[in-house]
Chain A
Amino acid sequence: MRYRLGVDVGGTFTDVLLIDEDSGTSFRAKTPSTPQDQSVGVLTGIEKVCAAAVTSLDSIEQVLHGTTVATNAILEGKGARVGLVTTAGFRQVLQIARSFVPGGLAGWIIWPKPEPLAPLEHTVEAVERIGADGEVIVPLDEDDIRAKLRKLRDDGIQALAIALINSYVDGRHEERVAAIAAEELPGVPISVSSRVLPELREYERTITTVANGYVQPQVTTYLENLLNKIDKKLYILRSDGGLASAAAAAANPVSLLLSGPAGGVTGAVWAADQAGYTDLLTFDMGGTSTDVALVEKGLPRVGRETRVGDLTVRSASVDVRTVGAGGGSIAHVPELTKALRVGPQSAGAAPGPAAYGAGGLDPTVTDANVVLGYLPTELAGGEISLDRAAARTAVQRVADAMGLPSAEAAAAGIVDIVNENMFGALRLVSVQQGYDPRDFALVAFGGAGPLHANALGKLTGAWPVIIPPSPGVLCAYGDATTSLRDEAARTYIRRFSELSDDELRGIFEDLAESASATVEAEGVARADQTITYQVDIRYHGQGFEITVPAQVKDFDGAGAGLAALGAAFDAEHERLFSFLLKNEHELVSIRAAVSGPRPFVQATTLPEGGTDATDAVRTTTDVYVDGATVSATVYDRAKLRAGNVVTGPAIVTEMDSTTLVLPGHAATVHPSGSLLIRPVGN
């Protein structure tokens, strides 16, 4: 028997999924997360799942893991004390932070400016200068920087970042500073900007390099602890949805900031594929926030930026947009305007929604769902018992502040507003990128996703709405079903007239070789590798690039490759902005991505059961929909069979999630276990 093991560490629970690669049989374990040292909880989970599968750790070959260690270090401000080396004259690059102040016209009055990620007192200047063309203008003063690095050592810095002006063109001074630092600061991890992000724009490159150093010690310690405990081949899911070896992940941890959400998207792709869908909007709603992404032909759109909290870095990630809207989001009514606002404040895990009875008094989205009957108190799976009266009291305060006739009316308002906020995020990844959401299916997961999914389907017109099996542990599924991937990139700013097909083909081949060698070293034979190419292009003079795919066979030496790139760019520009310019095209950067084969994991198949779902009915309950109370049938998901049809209003319950099917809609049970919700009559 061969097993793959997926591990997802969330804020509250660690989910472990063990899959028998041959039969597809899976085993799950859920254990409390251990924030002090996440590896403890992971090991507990692994032991638990092995016991369930009646196997031992020995039979597991690979551990595939999505981690939030890097993310949490940023969000909680608990990363390393980072020292920074800049070019003389640019010590305050993070202090000035491009001079940007968020918010509207008077936004500066109320904006609390975050402190730089590398403190200014630990930032030193190297006397050196390289020009925009790579020429050395001022040679590096080695004695001077050595003395300054010793000062940083005495300051007790825990990581060092080196980011010099124009190093994206020529990194030789950075490499020399790194070599001196290795002598003067033994044991301190060093992040070098020309390796982390060889791209133009000094602030973006510096902050990305510093972020890498900021999370590196924690990530490294965690991975070492885990490797010591499990002694297996360990792979980490990167923000862009690819897998990296533990060593590669530790060397470039800024690429892991969205590892968790990327696992969710990857899991959604896998589950939807089983049900026959590859064009998807993914919708992952948790307690404090919701992540959404767009997947085209089975491939998540990958963006060049990663945002976590206040921090934006230039690092490839699945283009996940996050809104501060979740089950714990608090509803409030500002006195001056009497508007209904939901979030971004959240009741969090403690005290949590009023319905949790843990001291929370503020009305939350979860409380609204309880008041509306969507989360039946008697059916909460035993994990948490819900206090309906407390939820009603909290929501009634909103009704009073707004002058609404009932707690139900206020609750419906809260749910409508939070749905609208999430709809806004889905529009960002679809309509605003030129995609019509009606051409996509909507995959909903996370603890709260299936409860709001049907409503989001109505707003977006994305049908069917797919509720995968075990929507609460989909991230672990994603971890277990993703493939090895590595990417090599190069910034190469040239107008098309300065380029030739031959030159570009040469660069493609160099990049592909570099990434291919890495993947081969991880045990994927060249014959099993898939290579894809992308280039970023703009009109000469524009500030933003559009990414288009490239086919290396087009580069025939006669200009067909460049012509194809230009045409692809124009088509995309027209689609996004509805106009073209006559300006020359300009290449900005080139990437080659090499993937191993997607692991074969046999999907489970539910037994056929016909359309009648009566056998799965548990009871009925009152729900408030469209201004009226109606009776909804409650189903046990574990008892549903392939082909069963659940007609709304209905509630489908399972261990870690609850699905709401609205009146006028029906959910069909797919053999792979997913529920497919569609409007009745279509």
Chain B
Amino acid sequence: MAQIIQTATEPVTKVDVDPVTLDIIENALRNARYEMDEVLFRTALSPGIREQHDEFPLIGDPDGKMVVGQFGLSIPALLDGYDGTIAEGDVLLTSDPYSCDGAISHANDWLVVMPIYVAGRVVGWASMFGHMSDVGGKTVCSMPTDAHTIFEEGVIIPPFKLYDGGKLNEDALRVILNQVRQPDWNRADLNGIVAACRTASRRIQELCARFGVDTYVSALDALLDRNYQAMKALLGIVFEDGETISFTDYICDDGVGNGPYQLTLSLTRTGEKVLLDFTGSSAQSPGPINYYINENLARMFFGIYMITVADPQILWNDGFYPLVDVKIPDHSFWKPDFPAALNARNHGVGRIFDLFGGLLGQKNPDLLNAAGFSSSPHFMYSGNYADGERAGEWFQLYSIGFGGIPGRPIGDGPDGHSLWPSFVNIPCEYLESYYPLRIETWETVADTGGAGLHRGGNGVDVAYRFLQPGTIAIHDDRWLTYPWGVNGGDPGARGRKWIDRADGGRQILASKVHDVAVAKGDVLHFVTWGGGGWGDPLARDPELVALEVRRGLVTRDGAARYGVVLIGSQVDSDATEELRARLREGRPEKAPVFNMGPPLEEILANCEAETGLPAPRMPA
């Protein structure tokens, strides 16, 4: 438990904050949070942060509760696990999920936390973590797909003072950066994160100067309370007292041959509180896919799904936490025992989107989206230039791919987009000018989005031609189980990867591999998965289907899934009516809410024939 040093000891006076001041402070906090992003994007060096924005900011109240931010970390959990004093000018750094109770969830994420002081008193916390492209360890980019322990995953930094009273601990930083393959990236990105936190700190100090500490801190309480009250009302409206709802989804495999892993989440409301219960989920994996989740992160995820739709302008925060109990079984996928490997937890982090959507959508039609592009699949490529001007020079790429957003209550899912806020792809021209790569195709694949009244977004095919020998690594999922559809919509297509070798052969790649050698002229196709469809495909406007055929987003054969027949590029109305009538006859009166594709046994039985890859072993 951290001991916070404050020279001002008298308690803050709680004052009434008028509603207008409250809204002004809310607005200013939101601006400060976006300014943190801006500072980091503009100064970072690693493509993962500067081009793709793999980072998460947070501003906390004096107790560390998030008052503005987004998914992803917990300051109280970190402070609980830190044994020492914290004073003005200190900046903490950690990358160890096990010493901060999962405030971050793998060693690639470097978390910076700093107290914000005004007149000798902590008035809040600024914090941010970013994904470092490389933190050392046995594989390039530090995400070995066969890791059994966290010790294989690079340098594990326990919480320590990167700055002590404003003074940088040069020695410690030198020791850390000596472990990694691209130290200049880590140094610049870390500098950017610290600068972003200092920016937030300045903005909060300015707010305190303008309104006074008493008003500022009281306003935070009121903002937290605003979320509490809103959530209390929502819970009562959405969930019936005493009823339990439940949803199960899967991670296809764990990189070491086991799968699929069952992820189960249940919710029960009792009085004004709800219980989120992860019981029923698979036991921890011997591979690297475990997602060590902090209870507060589960609350956070729940909250943003509930509140976003109700008041999109709200400053979403931790205020509702007392209304949500969380139960996560020990030794499970969600709470593995130290020193279980964690690096590939990105699939679990992503699948949370689908898990909460499937759970909460059962009671809230505005949230009932189909399954989307619920992961952040990684592609890595590295080596030394074998020839040319740069012969001998080291290159290393870490990048994130995107796929189909699901069919949604408000409409179609966008093709080839990101479920992650503010993430973007790395431009082809950037890749080609900084890496020995040529991108031959970057487009979405027709028909990969699930058919529905609102179509699921298509997955993306990126074809990378390698211009220098090297090795690649891939972290992907949903190659086996389907991105499910809802309300009569079809599932989307699964993801695939293969290499067309320069010497003529084709090699199908498993979804989690590393150290795969590639030669000059080899072409990797990384095809991500589509989003599920929403609603009855036979109710979709045939003219829209025809237009999408002309756009190349749906094929002529694919149009048949909507019961649409084309002559040339126009709708054949009679044939369409006839086909739709026939298709309606052959199906049940009412479609089930979820369409997960064939039963799991059938998927496993057909695995090798359909995917070219052996079926995984059921986990213990």
A108 to B419, CA, bound (A): 6
Residues of B within 8 A of A (CB-CB), count = 90
A410-428 contact mask (Cβ, 8 Å, vs B): 1 or 0? 0011001100110010010
Does B427 lie within 8 Å of A112, measured CB to CB?
Answer: no
The listed residue (A97, A106, A432) touching B35 by CB distance below 8 A is A432
* A527 interfacial contact with B, CB 8 Å: no
Does A89 lie within 8 Å of B38, measured CB to CB?
Answer: no
Please name all residues of chain A whose beta carbon is closer than 8 Å to the beta carbon of B212 when the two chains form the complex: none
Q: Which interface class (under 10, 10 to 19, 20 to 34, 35 or more) fits A?
A: 35 or more
Chain B nearest CB from A121 CB (Å) reads: 4
Interface residues of A in 94-114 (CB under 8 A from B): 95-113
Q: How many A-B residue pairs have CB under 8 A?
A: 228
Most buried by B among A121, A336, A539, A578: A336
* B570 interfacial contact with A, CB 8 Å: no
Does A95 lie within 8 Å of B20, measured CB to CB?
Answer: no
Does B45 lie within 8 Å of A336, measured CB to CB?
Answer: no
A168 to B433, CA, bound (A): 12
Does A101 lie within 8 Å of B414, measured CB to CB?
Answer: yes
Does A96 lie within 8 Å of B309, measured CB to CB?
Answer: no
A493 to B421, CA, bound (A): 30
Does B310 lie within 8 Å of A336, measured CB to CB?
Answer: yes
A92 to B443, CA, bound (A): 6
A173-217 contact mask (Cβ, 8 Å, vs B): 1 or 0? 000000000000000000000000000111110000000000000
A119 to B547, CA, bound (A): 11
The chain B residue with its CB closest to the CB of A432 is: B35
Please name all residues of chain A whose beta carbon is closer than 8 Å to the beta carbon of B314 when the two chains form the complex: 334, 336-337, 339
Please name all residues of chain B whose beta carbon is closer than 8 Å to the beta carbon of A92 when the two chains form the complex: 415-416, 442-444
A402 to B41, CA, bound (A): 39
Please name all residues of chain A whose beta carbon is closer than 8 Å to the beta carbon of B442 when the two chains form the complex: 89-90, 92-93, 96
Please name all residues of chain A whose beta carbon is closer than 8 Å to the beta carbon of B432 when the two chains form the complex: 131-132, 165-166
Please name all residues of chain A whose beta carbon is closer than 8 Å to the beta carbon of B418 when the two chains form the complex: 99-101, 108
The listed residue (B24, B70, B312) touching A417 by CB distance below 8 A is B24
Please name all residues of chain B whose beta carbon is closer than 8 Å to the beta carbon of A100 when the two chains form the complex: 417-418, 422-424
With A99-B425, A432-B38 as given contacts, are A104 and B552 in contact (CB-CB < 8 Å)? Answer: no
With A120-B553, A200-B430, A337-B230 as given contacts, are A577 and B195 in contact (CB-CB < 8 Å)? Answer: yes
* B440 interfacial contact with A, CB 8 Å: yes
The listed residue (A203, A340, A578) touching B19 by CB distance below 8 A is A340
A205 to B214, CA, bound (A): 50
* A438 interfacial contact with B, CB 8 Å: no
A95 to B417, CA, bound (A): 9
Does A424 lie within 8 Å of B308, measured CB to CB?
Answer: no
A541 to B424, CA, bound (A): 17
The listed residue (B27, B420, B427) touching A201 by CB distance below 8 A is B427
With A99-B416, A577-B192 as given contacts, are A337 and B311 in contact (CB-CB < 8 Å)? Answer: yes
With A98-B427, A542-B50, A577-B39 as given contacts, are A113 and B308 in contact (CB-CB < 8 Å)? Answer: no
A168 to B423, CA, bound (A): 25
Please name all residues of chain A whose beta carbon is closer than 8 Å to the beta carbon of B19 when the two chains form the complex: 338-340, 402, 404, 413
* B580 interfacial contact with A, CB 8 Å: no
Interface residues of B in 59-114 (CB under 8 A from A): 70-71
Does B311 lie within 8 Å of A91, measured CB to CB?
Answer: no
* B305 interfacial contact with A, CB 8 Å: yes
A104 to B30, CA, bound (A): 11
Does B45 lie within 8 Å of A544, measured CB to CB?
Answer: no
* B428 interfacial contact with A, CB 8 Å: yes
With A107-B308, A131-B438, A337-B311 as given contacts, are A101 and B419 in contact (CB-CB < 8 Å)? Answer: yes
The listed residue (A99, A129, A339, A579) touching B26 by CB distance below 8 A is A339
Chain B nearest CB from A57 CB (Å) reads: 49
B286-322 contact mask (Cβ, 8 Å, vs A): 1 or 0? 0000000000000001001100111111101000000
Chain A nearest CB from B105 CB (Å) reads: 16
The listed residue (A129, A131, A417, A432) touching B20 by CB distance below 8 A is A417
Pairs across A and B, CB under 8 Å, 9 listed: A90-B428, A100-B423, A103-B312, A112-B411, A132-B432, A204-B427, A579-B191, A581-B191, A583-B45
Residues of B participating in the A interface, judged by any CB pair closer than 8 Å: 19-20, 22-24, 26-28, 31, 35, 38-39, 41-45, 47, 50-51, 70-71, 184-185, 187-188, 191-192, 194-195, 198, 226, 229-230, 233-234, 301, 304-305, 308-314, 316, 366-367, 369, 372, 402, 405, 408-412, 414-425, 427-430, 432-433, 438-444, 460, 463, 547, 550-553
